[in-house]
């Protein structure tokens, strides 16, 4: 039929006929695909011909159509004779357009060689291979391609089953990433482990050196030294301990050490030792240890705790220093002080007597200048006598012989007379007594006055611009507190800790006042003998408040 000779109506009719034919053809294809027909009759120039779809067993056709894999058959030229919907979806083409195309247009260049190789092998044997499939809009899908030949009536075809490996590849990729990360982490862990091993090795070596160092040091110092655990158990004693005690070297460290403490010192030693273990405070005390030859020697014991970062005690390190010789020297010195002050006392007393005789002798006939000299000499003699008395007291305290009578004392009266006395001696100072209460105590009036005078003397000695001194006695519960407050140079906390020690004098470069550091030591001893307590509250430059507390007598 020639188109140009057709009328418009004929053209319309022809068009309608072709449309119906196309529809029929589409239905036929669907029917074949769904397995609804097994054979078709095709009319051509040679008359009617029957095509039976021998390979198209319905079950398999449905199965292939529903498969998750792409299925394709190729002829020798690589033209797609058949494919399922899944394959069309993989290459993103409408199904009807794929049949008749050459398969290799869906193979990207990188996979061409592999594809040719697999296809070539596939025509000979069943084979498999991995390659990429690409749609015409360059969407790439990794696939496993399995080839097998099919003998059809029309000749042999090559069947390809294509499994989409996208998820598998992604999983493999993720696995690889994870594996790489794992390997990296393992490497890092190994490196760390190696570093750690090195550090441990170094530390162990350091530790060995420092342990040997410690042992060498500990065994070569003249002191006894030990370490003990937080519970008090001994775990090390140096060689000196064994040499001193005569115990076998290396045998049970310091076990039963209490047995060599002098019986008179044992109670105090154990009390101090247990108190330190409990509180964690430094252990310090003097006691006597028995030597291998059964003689006792004085030792100064000191132990300090070693703590970890959290403050927990790991162990204690202690030393005992032999102070027998120092003690002997001190005793000798005290003995000398005692004898010397005693010897000085007699000529001093007679000097004082003679001075009194001179000043009383024909009083009115004495020239004024001589009177003046006598007064000055009497003043110096008084000072000298106080000094000698203090020295005598110190040696008595040391020998444990500071004894005196105790009676009931009206402390109010005692304070008043001390203040009066001091006001007479120090006319430049304003000494104020603010006592209003009556208070009786049990004690020695002379010794308590000595303490009062010592405190007032110090307030005068360590004065600044403000010349007031306030003295007060007041009842606090079942105690009476006597205080002497001044506005002088004051004391630092470090000085406060030591001022009651024998011969201690706080150093102040800007301030020089005479003294031997005995007054507060003697005062503290006297107050202790009265079952009392002496103390001070002070700050540098802000004056000082010295006080003592003594138990009241119930009346």
CB 524 within 8 A of CB 500: yes
Closer residue to ligand ADP (CB): 162 or 544: 544
> Hey, CA dihedral for 149, 152, 154, 160, is it positive or negative?
negative
Query: Cα dist. 17→23, 262, 517 in Å?
Result: 10, 136, 139
Closer residue to ligand ADP (CB): 238 or 538: 538
Closer residue to ligand ADP (CB): 285 or 464: 464
Closer residue to ligand ADP (CB): 78 or 517: 517
Provide the β-strand partners of residue 321: 300
- Residues from 143 through 182 that contact ligand ADP (CB under 6 A): none
CB 542 within 8 A of CB 466: no
Provide the β-strand partners of residue 486: 469, 544
Query: Own/partner pairs for 93-98, CB < 8 Å, 24+ apart?
Result: 93/135, 93/136, 96/29
Could you say which of 31, 39, 79, 516 contacts ligand ADP (CB under 6 A)? 516
Stretch 461-490: interaction string toward ligand ADP, x if CB under 6 A: xx-----------------------x-xxx
Closer residue to ligand ADP (CB): 282 or 513: 513
- Residues from 404 through 463 that contact ligand ADP (CB under 6 A): 454, 458-459, 461-462
Q: Is 520 in the site for ligand ADP (CB under 6 A)?
A: yes
Structure tokens at 228: 């003990």
State the minimum distance, in angstroms, from the CB of residue 412 to ligand ADP: 23
Q: What backbone phi and psi angles, to 5 degrees, belong to 417?
A: -70, -35
Could you say which of 37, 337, 506, 528 contacts ligand ADP (CB under 6 A)? 506
Stretch 27-66: interaction string toward ligand ADP, x if CB under 6 A: ----------------------------------------
State the minimum distance, in angstroms, from the CB of residue 340 to ligand ADP: 18
Maximum CA pair distance of the chain? 187
The residue count for binding ligand ADP (CB under 6 A) is 22
Q: How far is CA 319 from the centre of its chain?
A: 28
CB 386 within 8 A of CB 352: no
Query: Cα dist. 326→141, 333, 335, 340 in Å?
Result: 99, 10, 14, 20
Number of CB atoms found within 10 A of residue 34's CB: 12
Could you say which of 290, 291, 302, 505 contacts ligand ADP (CB under 6 A)? 505
Could you say which of 254, 499, 526, 550 contacts ligand ADP (CB under 6 A)? 499
Number of CB atoms found within 10 A of residue 289's CB: 23
In whole angstroms, give the CA distance from residue 248 to residue 242. 6
Q: Which stretch binds ligand ADP (CB under 6 A): 27-35, 110-118, 253-261, 499-507?
A: 499-507
Q: Which stretch binds ligand ADP (CB under 6 A): 79-87, 142-150, 232-240, 501-509?
A: 501-509
Q: Is 517 in the site for ligand ADP (CB under 6 A)?
A: yes
Residues in the chain, how many? 555
Residue of closest CB approach to ligand ADP: 515
Task: Give the footprint of ligand ADP on this chain (CB under 6 A).
Answer: 454, 458-459, 461-462, 486, 488-491, 499, 504-506, 515-521, 544
């Amino acid at each position: 039929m020639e188109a140009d000779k057709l009328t418009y109506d004929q053209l319309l009719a022809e068009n309608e006929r072709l449309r119906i034919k196309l529809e029929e053809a589409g239905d036929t294809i669907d029917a074949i695909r769904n397995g609804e027909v097994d054979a078709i009759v095709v009319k051509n120039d040679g008359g009617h011909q029957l095509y039976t779809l021998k390979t198209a067993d319905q079950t398999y056709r449905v199965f292939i159509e529903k498969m998750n894999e792409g299925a394709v058959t190729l002829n020798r030229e690589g033209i797609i004779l058949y494919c399922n919907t899944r394959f069309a979806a993989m290459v993103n083409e409408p199904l009807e357009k794929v049949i008749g195309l050459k398969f290799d247009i869906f193979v990207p260049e990188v996979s061409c060689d592999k594809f040719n190789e697999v296809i070539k092998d596939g025509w000979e044997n069943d084979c498999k291979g991995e390659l990429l499939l690409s749609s015409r809009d360059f969407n790439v899908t990794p696939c496993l391609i399995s080839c097998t030949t099919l003998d059809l009536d029309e000749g042999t075809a090559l069947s390809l089953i294509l499994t989409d490996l996208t998820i598998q590849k992604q999983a493999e990729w993720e696995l690889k990433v994870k594996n790489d990360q794992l390997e990296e982490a393992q490497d890092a862990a190994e490196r760390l482990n190696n570093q750690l091993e090195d550090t441990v090795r170094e530390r162990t070596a350091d530790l060995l050196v420092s342990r040997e160092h410690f042992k060498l040091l500990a065994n070569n110092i003249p002191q006894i030294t030990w370490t003990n655990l937080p519970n008090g158990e001994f775990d090390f004693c140096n060689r000196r301990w064994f040499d001193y005690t005569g115990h076998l070297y290396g045998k049970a460290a310091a076990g039963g050490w209490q047995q060599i403490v002098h019986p008179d010192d044992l109670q105090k030693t154990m009390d101090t030792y247990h108190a330190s273990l409990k509180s964690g405070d430094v252990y310090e005390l003097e006691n006597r240890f028995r030597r291998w030859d059964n003689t006792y020697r004085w030792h100064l014991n000191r132990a300090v705790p070693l703590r970890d970062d959290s403050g927990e005690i790991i162990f204690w390190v202690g030393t005992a220093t032999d102070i027998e010789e120092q003690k002997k020297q001190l005793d000798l010195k005290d003995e000398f002080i005692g004898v010397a002050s005693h010897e000085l006392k007699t000529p001093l007393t007679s000097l004082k007597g003679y001075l009194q005789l001179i000043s009383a002798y024909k009083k009115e006939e004495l020239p004024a200048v001589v009177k003046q000299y006598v007064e000055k000499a009497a003043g110096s003699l008084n000072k000298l006598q106080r000094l000698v008395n203090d020295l005598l007291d110190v040696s008595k305290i040391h020998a444990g012989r500071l004894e005196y009578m105790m009676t009931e004392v009206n402390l109010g009266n005692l304070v008043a007379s001390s203040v009066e006395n001091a006001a007479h001696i120090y006319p430049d100072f304003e000494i104020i007594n603010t006592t209003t209460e009556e208070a009786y105590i049990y004690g020695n009036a002379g010794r308590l006055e000595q303490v009062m005078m010592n405190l007032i003397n110090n307030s005068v000695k360590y004065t600044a611009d403000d010349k007031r001194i306030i003295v007060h006695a007041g009842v606090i519960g079942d105690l009476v507190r006597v205080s002497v407050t001044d506005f002088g140079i004051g004391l630092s906390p470090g000085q406060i800790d030591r001022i009651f020690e024998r011969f201690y004098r706080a150093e102040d470069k800007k301030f020089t006042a005479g003294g031997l550091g005995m007054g507060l030591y003697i005062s503290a001893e006297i107050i202790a003998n009265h079952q009392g307590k002496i103390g001070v509250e002070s700050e540098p430059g802000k004056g000082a408040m010295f006080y003592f507390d003594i138990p009241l007598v119930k009346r």
